[in-house]
Amino acid sequence: MTAAIVLLFLNAAFNVVVWPSFYRRVAQDPRARDANGRATRFLTVHVTLIAAALVLALASVIAAIVLLVG
């Protein structure tokens, strides 16, 4: 049980540390915006993936807390 809790917290920490910095790099990429400054599919897809990773990080924290308390 302890290993699961630690792994869930580590997963959440990794996602919170890595994905925001990845977003900054993607947002600065020339492929992120078209000539009119609108977001391209490149940016939209990456933002969706990053959002999913952060939601999973939140789910990991919640699951770890539930295991810790229960």
pLDDT of 15 = 97
Provide the b/e sequence for 12-29 (b: ≥16 CB within 10 Å): beebeeebeeebeebeee
- Residue 37, sorted as left (phi over 0), alpha (psi -120 to 50) or beta, turns out to be left
pLDDT digits (tens, 9 = 90+) for 18-67: 999 999 999 999 999 999 999 999 999 999 999 999 999 999 999 999 99
Mean pLDDT of 4-9: 97
70: pLDDT strictly greater than 90: no
* Number of domains the chain is built from: 1
State which residues form the domain around 34.
2-69
